[in-house]
Amino acid sequence: MARAGVTYHDIAKAAEAIKTQGQEPTVDRVREHLGTGSKSTIAPLLKRWRSDRPMSVDCRTTSSR
């Protein structure tokens, strides 16, 4: 019987947990957090998670006077 594999929900939960620890979610960190998953599966799902998130204050450009 084949494994179910990781889902977008798994990646999103792991990425959020990593963020709350003050670290940037990376493919390797997410994989370590989950304890499973291939990099080729995690990478596009993590990219989707990043694009689904609202832009943070850190990423906004501000004009200087």
The CA distance from 54 to 30, in Å, is: 20
CA distance 24 to 15: 8
What is the block-wise mean pLDDT of the chain (65 residues), using blocks of 10 residues?
81 97 97 96 96 69 51
Confirm if 19 and 54 have CB atoms less than 8 A apart: no
In this prediction the pTM is 0.77
Classified as helix, coil or strand, 7 is coil
Residue where the block lists tokens 């990593």: 18
Cα–Cα distance measured from residue 19 to residue 57, given in angstroms and rounded to the nearest whole number: 15
